[in-house]
């Protein structure tokens, strides 16, 4: 193909045709939002509101605690209904805040600083931290902390990931076509905060329109370039993206900052731009609802905390009964047993599967065919990890590289024995780490 | 409340390869060789193969039932083993030979170790070796002439243009005898002084073309190089097998027979020894279908290279210096046993690790 890429990986069908031409629609205001305190990696924030209190959209309702943590804001205006256990797409139930909307959507005061690029890097970073932004691509690492790398690392390159290698998802693809300027501003903000000289926007070759749009815009920028990457999963993995665009290898157990790079997703940089320019907190994000059985697959700008079933209602439901609902992409997302879960910051899609698309296969004995090793983008030996964990040999699992696994699922994708690698690796990680 | 949705672990997409598809693709790849066997040896070849396959399936079903496991004969792995065992006998054997061989392969070669995926050595090869060492006279004597040979006589195969009666001995058996004789001279001039028996064997020595097509003595599935290659390329194109093991296996045999065979100047000059070694005997069958058995070969690419070279080395040593004319089965079995060691030394290095 000639496009830049990384070793390993798989080529699943991308299924993006369902929703890639659908313009991002604004989801109507929900009457109620559920905001779990855990929407990111790190400690839970501390609620600073009381039940019955009236809040405005964008008002801080939970304050980040010390260390790695994240602010949380009200995403609609209304009354705090409860601070209790709420449903969470990944952890089932967790502490959270529920807001009963008043339907008026009264915002906190926003600003519009046209000369926002004159702000100091420190001030920009503070605003991003205040806005409660974390990595919106899936990992959910608080952005304020990411943009404050250890001082012994000089960052020379800021990368914006428009890869979106997960099949079905088109949220980032649409964002790049509809908000390209915001993305470039976001990248510039990132570069200013980090003092990075180079900016790179990496996009997979299956999004030609996005590439064209952004390439046109960066023509006049000296330090920013758009890199077309091969369509291959998991091209969007942080280490894989860094390798594909800069040929730098991030060592195991270390961060991208150790090779002078910081990566952020396009959705994250758009929020960063809005946080810096308008002081707008992170209250909404783009989500793709897709799948063969969805009547009207599309991309939506929805308030965080909106119930998935409410968002699905705007897709006019499904043609067949839902058998499996996956939050996130089909490769790394997690299946939920109900749509009664809220949209959280890290979720960028929901895929619904009907009966014809679901095949549950029993796990068979490993044939030692080595396909998992060939496709592992991290060069691990998934078969040895799985068998070690299965027989409680956690030393062996560690040796086979269980801690370096990013759980992209390529091994399971190609496994003829249908071994549930991710499950074994999850267990292994719990025992080893 | 509505019925909860199905919850499974990620990923929620699958590439589509299954144990079943892998095994049945191997069966498909073996069909050309079976057809070649039937073409050259007649319907007997098919009947013997059916005996072998049926025996393998029955044994698998009985043992799985005995072990209180789900009966998974439809995954095709027993069919593959049965086919491969039957491919390793010649058409002169009684019906119970493939039956016993397949049953032994499945029971002792596979299920004693825990069934599919857990066996240490290739079950089919174990079955073959069991047959060879248990009934050597039946397994290596009485080689059948191919139908084609009987019809055409020597018209398309004799180098000396002497239409004499041919023996059905395998090319490698002939070669073994030839190597044992001290007498090595230019054939044409000294034909008269060659002893009668040796002379008989020499004229039965097949041409490369016949070895390539399969018009030679040998086992049902191993004679036709072109049919085996066809199946091999099918598996390669389907990505069921990987090129490293067969390539390095054949490459090693070619290089070593070229270097070592040079001492027998006579053979290498007139018979293109390395190519002859590659095309004859069970080498192609072994290299393409048996050494590549994923269960008993290394998992890493580096390991597969080592495995291929090791197989080649042992095969050539046995063929050129050992008592047996054929070394493929022993070579692969020995290398099978070394696989855990190879795996240990070819542990892969995580991406980004120095």
**What proportion of chain A, given as a percentage, has pLDDT over 90?**
69
Q: Is B236 helix (H, G, I), strand (E, B) or coil?
A: helix
Contacts of A12 in chain B (CB under 8 A): 13, 15
Token pair for A322: 């839902």
Residues 6 or more apart whose Cβ sits within 8 Å of residue A126: A144
Mean pLDDT, chain B, integer: 80
Alpha-carbon torsion angle B100, B101, B102, B108, nearest 10: 100
Mean pLDDT computed over A361-377: 90
Report yes or no: A80 and A47 within 8 Å, Cβ to Cβ.
no
Higher pLDDT: B156 or A73? It is: A73
Burial A265-274 (b: 16+ CB within 10 A, else e): bbbbbbbbbb
What confidence category does residue B267 fall into, taking pLDDT thresholds of 50, 70 and 90? very low
Instruction: Please give the Cα distance from B342 to B304 (Å, whole number).
Output: 9
Instruction: Please give the Cα distance from B273 to B275 (Å, whole number).
Output: 6
pLDDT value at position B176? 59
pLDDT value at position B313? 94
Among A253, A261, A367, the residue to mutate for chain B (most B Cβ within 10 A): A367
B117 CB within 8 Å of a chain A CB:
yes
What confidence category does residue B84 fall into, taking pLDDT thresholds of 50, 70 and 90? very high
pLDDT value at position B189? 44
Token pair for A360: 């549950």
pLDDT value at position B185? 42
Q: What is the DSSP string of A40-58?
A: SSSPPPEE---TT-EE-BT
CA atoms within 13 A on the CB side of A282: 36
A401·B350 Cβ contact <8 A: yes
Q: Quick check: A240 pLDDT over 50?
A: yes
Lowest mean pLDDT segment, chosen from A17-31, A275-289, B99-113, B164-178: B164-178
Reported ipTM: the value is: 0.82
pLDDT value at position B262? 54
pLDDT value at position B193? 45
Higher pLDDT: B86 or A399? It is: B86
β-bridge mates for residue B122, sequence order = none
Report yes or no: A276 and A119 within 8 Å, Cβ to Cβ.
yes
- CA dihedral sign, ordered B261, B262, B265, B268: positive
Instruction: Please give the Cα distance from A94 to A17 (Å, whole number).
Output: 35
**What proportion of chain B, given as a percentage, has pLDDT over 90?**
43
B115 CB within 8 Å of a chain A CB:
yes
Lowest mean pLDDT segment, chosen from A6-15, A79-88, B179-188, B221-230: B179-188
Lowest mean pLDDT segment, chosen from A280-294, A363-377, B271-285: B271-285
pLDDT value at position B181? 47
Q: Give the highest mean pLDDT range of A2-11, A386-395, B54-63, B223-232.
A: B54-63
B11 CB within 8 Å of a chain A CB:
yes
Report yes or no: A311 and A300 within 8 Å, Cβ to Cβ.
yes
Q: Quick check: B177 pLDDT over 70?
A: no
Residue of chain B whose Cα is closest to the Cα of A364: B19
Higher pLDDT: B1 or A220? It is: A220
For residue A234, say if its preceding peptide bond is cis, omega within 30 degrees of 0: yes
What confidence category does residue A343 fall into, taking pLDDT thresholds of 50, 70 and 90? very high
pLDDT value at position B153? 38
Q: Quick check: A182 pLDDT over 90?
A: yes
pLDDT value at position B291? 94
Contacts of A374 in chain B (CB under 8 A): 301
Measured between CB atoms, which of A239, A364, A412 is closest to B351? A239
Q: Quick check: A314 pLDDT over 90?
A: no
B22 CB within 8 Å of a chain A CB:
yes
B242·A418 Cβ contact <8 A: no
Higher pLDDT: B209 or A58? It is: A58
What confidence category does residue A200 fall into, taking pLDDT thresholds of 50, 70 and 90? very high
Contacts of B18 in chain A (CB under 8 A): 361, 416-418
Mean pLDDT, chain A, integer: 91
> CA A161, A162, A165: angle at the middle one, nearest 5?
100
Higher pLDDT: A400 or A227? It is: A227
Mean pLDDT computed over A149-155: 88
Q: List the 291-320 stretch of B: residues with Cβ below 8 A of A.
A: 294-301, 304
pLDDT value at position A85? 92
What confidence category does residue B270 fall into, taking pLDDT thresholds of 50, 70 and 90? very low
Q: Quick check: B220 pLDDT over 90?
A: no
Mean pLDDT computed over A92-116: 91
Instruction: Please give the Cα distance from A136 to A19 (Å, whole number).
Output: 19
pLDDT value at position B70? 86
Q: Please state which architecture CATH assigns to domain A111-278.
A: 3-Layer(aba) Sandwich (3.40)
What confidence category does residue B148 fall into, taking pLDDT thresholds of 50, 70 and 90? very low
Token pair for B307: 């495995």
- Nearest residue to A162 (alpha-carbon basis) of A243, A263, A299, A248: A263
pLDDT value at position B325? 72
Token pair for A89: 């797409």
What confidence category does residue A84 fall into, taking pLDDT thresholds of 50, 70 and 90? very high
Contacts of A378 in chain B (CB under 8 A): 350-352
A249·B351 Cβ contact <8 A: yes
For residue A87, say if its preceding peptide bond is cis, omega within 30 degrees of 0: no
Between chain A and chain B, the number of residue pairs with CB atoms below 8 A apart is: 157
B300·A373 Cβ contact <8 A: yes
Name the residue ranges covered by the structural domains of chain A.
111-278, 371-432
pLDDT value at position B150? 42
What's the N-to-C CA distance of chain B in angstroms?
A: 54
What confidence category does residue B353 fall into, taking pLDDT thresholds of 50, 70 and 90? low
What pLDDT, in 10s, does the model give residues A378-410?
A: 888 899 999 999 999 998 888 888 888 989 999
pLDDT value at position B201? 52
Higher pLDDT: A43 or B208? It is: A43
In degrees rounded to 5, what are phi and psi of residue A426? -60, -45
β-bridge mates for residue A198, sequence order = A157
């Amino acid at each position: 193909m000639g496009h830049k890429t990384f070793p390993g990986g798989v080529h699943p069908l991308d299924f993006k045709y369902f929703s890639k031409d659908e313009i991002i629609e604004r989801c109507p205001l929900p009457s109620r939002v559920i905001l779990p305190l855990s929407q990111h990696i790190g400690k839970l924030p501390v609620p600073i509101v009381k039940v019955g209190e009236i809040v405005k959209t964008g008002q801080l309702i939970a304050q980040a605690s010390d260390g790695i943590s994240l602010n949380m804001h009200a995403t609609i205006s209304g009354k705090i209904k409860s601070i209790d256990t709420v449903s969470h797409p990944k952890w089932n139930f967790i502490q959270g805040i529920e807001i009963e909307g008043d339907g008026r959507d009264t915002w906190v005061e926003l600003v519009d600083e046209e000369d926002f690029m004159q702000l100091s890097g420190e001030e920009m970073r503070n605003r991003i931290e205040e806005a409660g932004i974390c990595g919106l691509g899936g990992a959910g690492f608080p952005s304020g902390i990411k943009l404050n790398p250890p001082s012994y690392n000089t960052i020379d390159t800021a990368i914006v990931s428009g890869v979106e290698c997960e099949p079905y998802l088109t949220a980032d693809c649409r964002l790049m076509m509809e908000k390209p300027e915001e993305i470039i501003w976001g990248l510039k903000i990132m570069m200013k905060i980090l003092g990075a000289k180079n900016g790179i926007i990496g996009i997979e070759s299956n999004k030609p329109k996005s590439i064209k749009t952004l390439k046109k815009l960066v023509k006049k920028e000296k330090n920013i370039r758009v890199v077309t990457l091969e369509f291959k999963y998991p091209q969007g993995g942080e280490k894989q993206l860094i390798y594909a665009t800069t040929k730098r290898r991030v060592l195991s157990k270390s961060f991208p900052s150790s090779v002078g790079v910081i990566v952020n997703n396009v959705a994250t940089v758009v929020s960063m731009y809005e946080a810096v320019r308008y002081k707008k907190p992170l209250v909404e994000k783009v989500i793709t609802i897709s799948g063969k059985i969805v009547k009207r697959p599309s991309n939506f700008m929805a308030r965080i905390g909106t119930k998935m079933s409410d968002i699905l209602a705007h897709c006019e439901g499904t043609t067949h009964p839902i058998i499996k609902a996956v939050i996130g992409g089909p490769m790394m997302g997690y299946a939920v047993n109900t749509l009664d879960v809220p949209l959280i910051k890290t979720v960028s899609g929901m895929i619904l599967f009907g009966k014809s698309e679901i095949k549950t296969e029993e796990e068979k004995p490993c044939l030692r065919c080595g396909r998992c090793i060939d496709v592992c983008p991290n060069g691990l030996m998934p078969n040895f990890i799985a068998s070690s964990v299965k027989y409680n040999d956690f030393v062996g699992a560690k040796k086979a590289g269980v801690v370096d696994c990013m759980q992209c699922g390529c091994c399971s994708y190609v496994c003829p024995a249908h071994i549930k690698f991710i499950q074994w690796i999850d267990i292994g990680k719990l025992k080893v780490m | 409340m509505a019925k909860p949705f199905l919850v499974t672990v990620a990923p929620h997409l699958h590439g589509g390869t299954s144990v079943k598809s892998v095994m049945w693709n191997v069966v498909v790849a073996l069909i050309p060789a079976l057809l070649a066997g039937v073409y050259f040896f007649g319907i007997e070849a098919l009947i013997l193969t059916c005996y072998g396959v049926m025996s393998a399936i029955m044994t698998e079903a009985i043992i799985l039932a005995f072990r209180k496991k789900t009966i998974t004969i439809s995954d095709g792995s027993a069919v593959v083993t049965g086919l491969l065992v039957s491919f390793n006998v010649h058409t002169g054997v009684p019906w119970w030979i493939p039956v016993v061989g397949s049953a032994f392969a499945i029971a002792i070669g596979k299920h004693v170790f825990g069934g599919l995926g857990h066996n240490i050595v290739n079950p089919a090869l174990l079955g073959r070796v069991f047959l060879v060492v248990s009934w050597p006279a039946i397994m290596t004597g009485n080689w059948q002439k191919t139908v084609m040979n009987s019809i055409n006589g020597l018209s398309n195969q004799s180098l000396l243009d002497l239409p004499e009666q041919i023996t059905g001995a395998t090319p490698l058996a002939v070669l073994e005898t030839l190597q044992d004789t001290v007498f090595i001279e230019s054939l044409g001039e000294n034909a008269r002084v060659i002893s009668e028996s040796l002379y008989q064997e020499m004229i039965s020595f097949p041409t490369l073309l016949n070895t390539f097509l399969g018009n030679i003595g040998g086992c049902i599935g191993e004679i036709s190089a072109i049919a085996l290659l066809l199946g091999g390329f099918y598996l390669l194109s389907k990505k069921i097998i990987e090129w490293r093991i067969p390539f390095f296996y054949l490459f090693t045999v070619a290089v070593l027979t070229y270097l070592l065979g040079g001492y027998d100047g006579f053979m290498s000059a007139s018979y293109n020894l390395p190519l002859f070694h590659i095309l004859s005997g069970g080498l192609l069958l072994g290299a393409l279908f048996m050494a590549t058995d994923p269960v008993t070969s290394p998992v890493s690419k580096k390991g597969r290279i080592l495995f291929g070279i090791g197989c080649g080395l042992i095969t050539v040593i046995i063929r050129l210096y050992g008592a047996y004319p054929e070394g493929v089965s022993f070579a692969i079995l020995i290398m099978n046993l070394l696989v855990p060691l190879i795996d240990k030394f070819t542990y892969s290095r995580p991406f980004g690790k120095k």
